[in-house]
Chains A and B, each alone.
Chain A
Amino acid sequence: MKVFVPKDSAAVSVGADEVAELLARAGAQVVRTGSRGMLWLEPLVEVETDAGRVGYGPVAPEDVDGLVAAGMLDGTAPGLGLVEDLPWMRAQQRLTFVRVGVVDPADPADHERHGGLDGLRAALGMDPADVVTAVTDSGLRGRGGAGFPTGVKWKTVADAESELKFVCCNADEGDSGTFADRMLMEGDPFTLLTGMTIAAYAVGASEGYVYVRSEYPDAVAALRTAIVAARGQGWLGESVLGSGFAFDVHVRVGAGAYICGEETSMLESLEGKRGTVRPKPPIPALEGLFGHPTVVNNVLSLASVPTILADGAEAYAALGVGRSRGTQVFQLGGNIARGGVLETAFGISLGELVETFGGGTLSGRPVRAVQVGGPLGAYLPVEQFDLPMDYEAFAASGAMVGHGGIVVFDDTVDMSSMARFAMEFCAEESCGRCTPCRIGAVRGVETIDRIRAGEDREANLVLLEDLCELMTDGSLCAMGGLTPLPVRSAITHFGEDFR
């Protein structure tokens, strides 16, 4: 009578806590896990049976009594069947997310039982330089947005001479439409800690920080619990797994600034300062936190490392297309029938993600636009649904994969309002360092307002284009530099909304 109920904050946001409590009261042994990522089925209750875990969902609190009476607790009540056999699950290649939704994120023994330490053990048995080589050979590229090869970054830090080096995990995840970092931290935090430890071993770092946005209190709590447990197990501390290698991790909480996801701004914030962007060079790999060589990687980049070390670089590199190797964790959000997180090899088309996995819109109306890669990503029309998810293919189409978030809009969307919002967001979140971004975005909002009001449309569209060019060319970082991407793509593909 063991049942699994997600404690993931998205599941809790639609009643998972109440369901868990009612099931416990009905006599079930309730284990709280992360979410499998099928968020439209949350709260998704899974019941352990001899054949595997049988799913029920979405289960509202008021459904619990009836389901229990019908035999849910031994898996005989009619439901979704075996969770692993659901089409959404079977169509995936879950490597980074393999334990998310399966294990109890607070239980180190559960993590180890599910193979969670294999990668770390393998790494500690290798020469640090060989760990760097393995990550390079896997083809892993940064999942935070820019897609920089992770192994190359690590090599720079490894080769730098310094008494003190750091590993900083970027868990600021400010992009709208992205929540995979959160789900991994809440659902399998040990994998992130293990990935950071492998990075630290590879480059010779002794101290790690996870910078988590304050909007994620549950992820912060899950990480803190995991860190205490990992220290207790000897997975962190003076001698990681008895190897003599010392490494510890600390959690730092952001304070509501999107720009602190930019790596140098994050470092400033970690140092206790305003989150203004630093000019590069120097690159953080050489002069990062407090001036010391620092690995800065996204949550998903680091959490992909254990599986690479456990199963080998070749296995990871065998997946994907072109220079986009391995798997990407995609997030489907917005107006989508089946929203959530799924992991599959690069190369899947945008349309397959939105239609096959996502089932089209939630409203049942036609899809009109999707934004890929967060607030700085392009808006794409359905005509581009055959685009493969691949860094280079997206760049060639004037778009970006970014952190893998896909936000769907139906045909009621007014794209000029979305373009306006892109500028408003930039104005709101600019760190203020450069004028094209700080002032340009404010002018951008005003100009789009005039276009929307029908004032001198043609002249104002030209002005807007000039502003976009100025921001693209004259901004220090991608905040100001890429805000024109959603604006211009909205005008290009949905020009009728600006007439």
Chain B
Amino acid sequence: MSIEAPPGPVDEVVSRAVEAHRGSRGALLPILHAVQEELGHVPPSVVPVLAGRLNLSTAEVHGVVTFYRDFRTTPPGRVTVRVCRAEACRAVGGEALMEHAAASLGVTRGGTTPDGAVTLDEVFCLGNCALGPAVQVGDRLHGRVTPARLDALIGQGR
């Protein structure tokens, strides 16, 4: 997989995203979400294109992309696993679960397995604080996740 998406598709994706949000106010975030939805990440080549379309400076767009944790400039693995590291999950073993995940995948927080299958991320609260430890696999929330269950979830996702 190449890190940089070819310019042609990037242009089209950006055009579609900008078009879809024409008429909405201050739409840079929704547009970036739309780009990331299609490409899996926001390649650096998007920044000048988007800046041109929206009449913003490259620095402004770059500043926004880098400010928010959600926007990635490199492709993620095929499935992203987010382990909650916030207080309520820590009270029931969230940190140990994160350590288990890192050890069993052989990656550090934020890393992707060498086969490109799984990205391991941290998250601060998933709104499942009564049923922690909480984990999100893709868009799907899981509660009361034990290390064994996490291994199974990752196995299914692979």
Spell out A's residues near B (CB within 8 Å): 9-10, 12-14, 39-40, 42, 173-179, 182, 214-218, 250, 252-258, 269-275, 290, 331-336, 339-340, 362-363, 371, 375, 405, 407-410, 413, 418, 421, 425, 428-429
| Contact of B129 (CB < 8 Å), options: A216, A334, A409, A413 | A334
Interchain CB contact under 8 A, B127 and A290? no
Q: Is B131's beta carbon under 8 Å from chain A?
A: yes
Interchain CB contact under 8 A, B143 and A10? yes
Q: Is B29's beta carbon under 8 Å from chain A?
A: yes
CB-CB contacts below 8 Å: B4-39 with A: 24-30, 32-33
How far is B33's CA from A120's CA once the two chains are assembled, in angstroms? 34
Chain A residues near B152 (CB-CB < 8 A): none
1/0 per residue, CB under 8 A from A, across B68-91: the answer is 111100000000000000111111
CB of A261 to closest CB in B, whole Å: 11
Chain B residues near A257 (CB-CB < 8 A): 67-69
Interchain CB contact under 8 A, A258 and B130? no
Interchain CB contact under 8 A, A340 and B26? no
How far is B91's CA from A418's CA once the two chains are assembled, in angstroms? 10
How far is B69's CA from A217's CA once the two chains are assembled, in angstroms? 16
Q: Which among B26, B86, B91 has the highest number of chain A CB atoms within 10 Å?
A: B91
Chain B residues near A254 (CB-CB < 8 A): 29, 68, 70
Interchain CB contact under 8 A, B129 and A179? yes
Of B98-106, B112-120, B132-140, the one contacting chain A is: B132-140
Chain B residues near A409 (CB-CB < 8 A): 91
Additional pairs, 10, CB under 8 Å, beyond known A176-B88, A215-B136, A269-B29: A10-B128, A10-B143, A13-B131, A39-B130, A216-B127, A252-B30, A255-B68, A272-B29, A274-B63, A407-B88
Chain B residues near A218 (CB-CB < 8 A): 141
Chain A residues near B132 (CB-CB < 8 A): 333-334
| Contact of A333 (CB < 8 Å), options: B29, B67, B129, B139 | B129
| Contact of B90 (CB < 8 Å), options: A12, A271, A340, A418 | A418
Interchain CB contact under 8 A, A39 and B131? yes
How far is B29's CA from A178's CA once the two chains are assembled, in angstroms? 25
Q: List 16 A-B contacts (CB under 8 A).
A: A10-B130, A12-B141, A13-B131, A176-B124, A176-B129, A178-B127, A215-B126, A255-B32, A255-B69, A256-B69, A257-B69, A272-B27, A290-B25, A333-B129, A334-B91, A408-B91
Interchain CB contact under 8 A, B92 and A253? no
Interchain CB contact under 8 A, A14 and B144? yes
Dominant secondary structure at the B interface:
loop
Interchain CB contact under 8 A, B129 and A253? no
CB of A64 to closest CB in B, whole Å: 19
Chain A residues near B32 (CB-CB < 8 A): 255
CB of A311 to closest CB in B, whole Å: 29
Chain A residues near B140 (CB-CB < 8 A): 12
| Contact of B70 (CB < 8 Å), options: A256, A332, A413 | A256
Interchain CB contact under 8 A, A407 and B87? yes
The residue of chain B having its C-beta at the shortest distance from the C-beta of A333 within the complex is B129
Interchain CB contact under 8 A, A258 and B124? yes
Spell out B's residues near A (CB within 8 Å): 24-30, 32-33, 60, 63-64, 67-71, 86-92, 123-132, 134, 136, 139-144
Chain B residues near A253 (CB-CB < 8 A): 29-30, 33
How far is B87's CA from A46's CA once the two chains are assembled, in angstroms? 32
How far is B3's CA from A329's CA once the two chains are assembled, in angstroms? 46
Interchain CB contact under 8 A, A407 and B91? yes
Chain A residues near B126 (CB-CB < 8 A): 215
**Given A274-B64, A331-B130, is A255 in contact with B91 using a C-beta cutoff of 8 Å?**
no
How far is B67's CA from A256's CA once the two chains are assembled, in angstroms? 9
How far is B71's CA from A173's CA once the two chains are assembled, in angstroms? 19
Interchain CB contact under 8 A, B125 and A13? no
Interchain CB contact under 8 A, A13 and B130? no
Chain B residues near A340 (CB-CB < 8 A): 130
The residue of chain A having its C-beta at the shortest distance from the C-beta of B67 within the complex is A274
| Contact of A9 (CB < 8 Å), options: B24, B60, B124, B141 | B141
Chain A residues near B25 (CB-CB < 8 A): 271, 290
Chain A residues near B131 (CB-CB < 8 A): 10, 13-14, 39-40, 42, 339
Interchain CB contact under 8 A, A13 and B129? no
Chain B residues near A40 (CB-CB < 8 A): 130-131
Interchain CB contact under 8 A, B129 and A177? yes
**Given A217-B139, A275-B67, is A405 in contact with B128 using a C-beta cutoff of 8 Å?**
no
How far is B119's CA from A106's CA once the two chains are assembled, in angstroms? 33
How far is B112's CA from A200's CA once the two chains are assembled, in angstroms? 46
Interchain CB contact under 8 A, A13 and B134? yes
**In the A-B complex, the 5 residue pairs with the closest CB atoms:** A339-B130, A333-B129, A272-B28, A176-B86, A256-B69
How far is B129's CA from A9's CA once the two chains are assembled, in angstroms? 12
| Contact of B127 (CB < 8 Å), options: A179, A275, A410 | A179
| Contact of A255 (CB < 8 Å), options: B26, B33, B89, B136 | B33
Chain B residues near A252 (CB-CB < 8 A): 29-30
